[in-house]
A = this chain, B = another copy of it.
Amino acid sequence: MKSELVSRFSVSLPPSLLRQLDEMSAEKGYDNRSQAIADMIRNHLVEHRQKFGNEEICGTVTLVYDHHKQHLQATLTDIQHDYHDVIVSTVHVHLDHHNCLEVLLVRGKAALIRKIADELISAKGVKHGRLTVTTTGKDLPT
């Protein structure tokens, strides 16, 4: 960070998540929390800036969440129905009494699929979400 000024702000986390962050930061060898968080942000910026355009892609959106979380499942289903044209189908695995794994199979314009994934993954209560992009196979020789 050298001579650049530094911005200071405060973050609120569940105590257990903060503890796990500190353990991971130590295991990864970071000197302090801010440095670990800065690296994560840079990582996500790189992913976020990948260009998603008009080309047709296939992919999956993988979500893990607790279905007891108030309104969460209804929210996720509402979002999905808004885009039912590009969601081929959704597979739901009941992991245990609380946790669900939901995998959406999607096919459509890259930019739209990115948008849907962002909406779903950022929904409050989703524990983990990932967009995985693959090809429709059309222009890819083997």
Which residues from chain B contact A6 at a C-beta distance below 8 Å?
Answer: 12-15
> Given the known A-B contacts A41-B21, A89-B88, are A137 and B14 also in contact in the complex, defined by CB atoms under 8 Å?
no
Q: Are A11 and B14 in contact (CB under 8 A)?
A: no
Q: A24 contacts the other chain (Cβ, under 8 Å)?
A: yes
- Beta-carbon contact of A60 and B132 below 8 Å: yes
Partner of A64, one of B36, B80, B140: B140
Known: A21-B41, A93-B88, A128-B134. A33 touches B62 (CB 8 A): no
Report whether B128 and A96 are in contact in the complex, using a CB–CB cutoff of 8 Å. no
Residue of B nearest to A59 (CB): B62
Q: How far is the CA of A135 from the CA of B62 in the complex (A)?
A: 10
Interface residues of A (CB under 8 A from B): 1, 4-18, 20-21, 24, 27-31, 33-46, 48, 58-60, 62, 64-67, 69, 73-74, 77-78, 80-82, 84, 87-101, 103, 105, 107, 118-119, 121-122, 124-130, 132, 134-142
Across the A-B interface, the 9 shortest Cβ-Cβ residue pairs: A99-B137, A84-B94, A90-B92, A16-B141, A29-B122, A132-B132, A7-B15, A28-B118, A7-B18
Number of copies: 4
Contact B64 A91 (CB under 8 A): no
Q: How far is the CB of A84 from chain B (nearest CB, A)?
A: 4
Give me 5 other A-B pairs in contact (C-beta within 8 A), A8-B10, A9-B11, A65-B137 excluded. Answer: A37-B40, A43-B44, A43-B128, A58-B101, A99-B137
